[in-house]
Amino acid sequence: MRGPRVAALAIVSAALALASVYATTSGPTGAATLRPGTGAPVAKSVHARATGRVSTMPGEGVQPVGPAGNWQLVFDDHFLGTTLNTRNWSTCYNWTCTNGGNNELEWYSASQVTMHNGTVALTVIPDESHGKQYLSGMLSSYGKFSFTYGYAQIVAKLPVGQGLWSSFWTLPANGTWPPEIDVLENWAQSRNVSFYIHYDSANQFDAASVYLPTASSAFHTYGLDWEPGSLTWYIDGFRWAHYNVSITEAQYLLVTLAVNGKLPPDSTVQFPQSLEIRSVDVWQHPNL
């Protein structure tokens, strides 16, 4: 699961180094890049994009901060209170508490998932456990929530430091791989936010990246509009990438803060570091 991404990691890392303020794309389908403003941002997101903040974003949890249309909320967690809602989330993968296929250095533990003041923090620290050098936190809706088509959105602030790997992504509810949809990925030594879609048995993939200098200093909304035959990515209500790829398998949600074994943390990383999440929501069209 997610292991074949390792083969593409060097290619993707090189692409990130070339990323600019505009999205860049790669992959076999050669989908066109979308520059900021070429989509149809909703009016409520304009202030957020200008200021780099979404702390008072209207519509959060009511309608998607992105594509207009008729939407019905089918999953939401705004992390109120002090205890994680275990009806929504588990704090390990369904197969284990790390991802060995990616040469990752973390062991996921419920102790690293904490809630405070309307956010949940996935926190990584140096601490050996189960043969791994770091303890970190993750969320998985496997066996609790899955969906086919819809708009998945996270409001998050990303950590800072080499080797820290933040992701909001989906996997098939039936346990197979691929496909995999990466709504958000960030290697924390970079100010680029990336999007991926892995599909077909040969692990074809498409990818795009966006330079977002405030990803670690402010909350932003990251969303994916998954429709029959297409996927479209948004940041703060603005469309950044679109691919005509057909994904039909029901997907579940994951939010992970991994540690990259190929480029591990160095002495400049100040621990603890956290991926802070204010909300995760999924909407669907009522006729689905």
By DSSP bridging, strand 230-235 and strand 220-227 are antiparallel
Q: CA–CA separation, 179 vs 118, rounded Å?
A: 32
Q: Which run of H or of E encompasses 281? A: strand 273-284
First to last CA, the chain: 28
Q: CA–CA separation, 136 vs 191, rounded Å?
A: 21
Tokens of 101: 């296929």
**Is 180 an active-site residue?**
yes
Q: Which of 60, 104, 106, 180 is catalytic?
A: 180
Cβ burial, residue 131 (10 Å; 0-12/13-18/19+): exposed
**Is 249 an active-site residue?**
no
Q: Which of 60, 106, 185, 276 is catalytic?
A: 185
Q: CA–CA separation, 212 vs 170, rounded Å?
A: 22
199: which residues sit within 8 A by CB, 6+ positions away?
178, 179, 205, 245, 247
Provide the 8-state DSSP code for 163.
Answer: T
Provide the annotated active-site residues: 180, 185
